[in-house]
Structure 1
């Protein structure tokens, strides 16, 4: 059985954990009424997670460009291979698009992003009340798309493990 490299496996699971955490925190923080110290803290943590995802996604993409993914089993139908490639491509796009859209939303809202409370990120756009709701909606819909693609990814992995028993799932296990 061909497997992914250890760095690819570690980055996959680390990024997955960070994305799940950022998503859960995002859902939690927007449900807190008003502006409270806890809500502000959660917004900061959410942004820090997003920036961290962006950094690790960049490392993962660089690693992936230099290391081919293991081939799918020969018994896997062509349509499943195509669907898997498309899904993975979309997941990569979203790993970049979601943090960038959140960053732009924050800047459009006039809120600077300071990574871990110590490293101010450059303001690539000025505060803009007209752009704020647009970036907010983009960020939201990218996240809803990611949630759907994540569910498909997990369902496909479980199908390969429990139904097909073709080793596809085990390629990404540590």
Structure 2
């Protein structure tokens, strides 16, 4: 008989999957909107939605970090080698960093482009920098590189979870499943 798996709390699980789905949707919308030629009403609408989703991801990420600071993660299985535990910690740390850095880089990219962010078309976010074409170009590139890094780490994270589920069969994935 197997021992029960130590699991994340229900709020941690909900925030994990909600943020993951929002990030996937925001990423796909970003790819869609930049592929639309010219400046059309649809493209502008998608840009607004993309920004709103990014702000939402940032807000949920703040909640997730607050929850995580007050609720310890369940331990990895004893059978998991130390290098895998260390790698998992490193990837999780980078994922958290990117979950904050990407919305911030997009926010400042928008400001540098001279386009303020108005969350849901209602709440204007502070304008902390003036329009700056050089900074805009640098922030656009940064936003892209951060997103591609997130995509790589996301794939690595998913592949590791699947490896643990189907090859190692150590029930690591059960810790985060609803």
Alignment of 1:43-58 (within 5 A): 43-58=47-62
Match of 2:129 in 1: 125
Aligned residues: 174
Deviation at 1:159, TM superposition (A): 0.4
Match of 2:116 in 1: 112
Match of 2:41 in 1: 37
Q: Over residues 12-56 of structure 1, what are the superposed CA-to-partner deviations in whole Å (9 max), with x where a residue is unaligned?
A: 000000000000000000000000000000000000000000000
The answer to whether the aligner puts 1:148 opposite 2:152 as a matched pair is yes
- Taking structure 2 as the reference length, the TM-score comes to 0.97
CA distance in 2, matches of 1:114, 1:100: 14
The answer to whether the aligner puts 1:96 opposite 2:122 as a matched pair is no
After superposition, the CA RMSD in angstroms is 0.4
CA distance in 2, matches of 1:165, 1:5: 22
SS in 2 for 1:117: coil
For residue 169 of structure 1, the aligned residue among 151, 170, 173 is 173
Deviation at 1:130, TM superposition (A): 1.4
Q: Over residues 74-131 of structure 1, what are the superposed CA-to-partner deviations in whole Å (9 max), with x where a residue is unaligned?
A: 0100000000000000000000000000000000000000000000000011111110
CA distance in 1, matches of 2:75, 2:88: 12
Gaps of 5+ in 1: none
The answer to whether the aligner puts 1:72 opposite 2:76 as a matched pair is yes
Gaps of 5+ in 2: none
